[in-house]
Amino acid sequence: MLNTIVTFIIVLGILVFIHELGHFIFAKLAGIRVERFSLGFPPRMFGIKIGDTDYCISWLPLGGYVKMSGMVDESLEGSLKGEPWEFMSKSLPKRFMAIFAGPAFNYILAVLLFGWVTWSDGVRTPFHPFINEVVQGSPAEKAGFLANDAILTIDGHTTETVRQSIDIFSANANKLLQVQILRDEQEITIPVTPELNPDTQTGRIGIGIGQQYTFQSVSFLQSMQYGFAETIYITQLLGEAIGDMFLGEESVKESIAGPIGIAKMVGEAAEAGLNVLLRFMAFLSLQLAILNLLPIPALDGGHIVFILVEGIMKRPPKMKTRMVIQQLGMVFLLCLMVFIIFNDLTR
Which residues belong to the active site? Answer: 20
Amino acid type, 42: P
213-281-267-256 Cα dihedral, nearest 10 degrees: -100
Cα separation, 293 vs 106, whole angstroms = 11
User: Number of helices and strands (H, E) in the chain?
Assistant: 10, 10
**How many CB atoms are located within 10 Å of the residue 33 CB?**
18
42 within 8 A of 74, measured Cβ to Cβ: no
* b/e per residue 243-282 (b: at least 16 CB within 10 A): eebeeeebeeeeebbbbbbbbebbbebbeeeeeebbbbbb
Largest CA distance in the chain: 86
Find out whether 209 and 131 touch, Cβ atoms under 8 Å: yes
Give CA–CA dist 198/202, Å, rounded: 8
Residue 4: CB atoms within 10 A of its CB come to 16
- In angstroms, the CA 180 to CA 174 distance is 18
| Separation CA 127–CA 159 (nearest Å) | 8
DSSP string, 109-156: HHHHHHHHHHHHH-EEEEEEEEEEEE-TTSHHHHHT--TT-EEEEETT
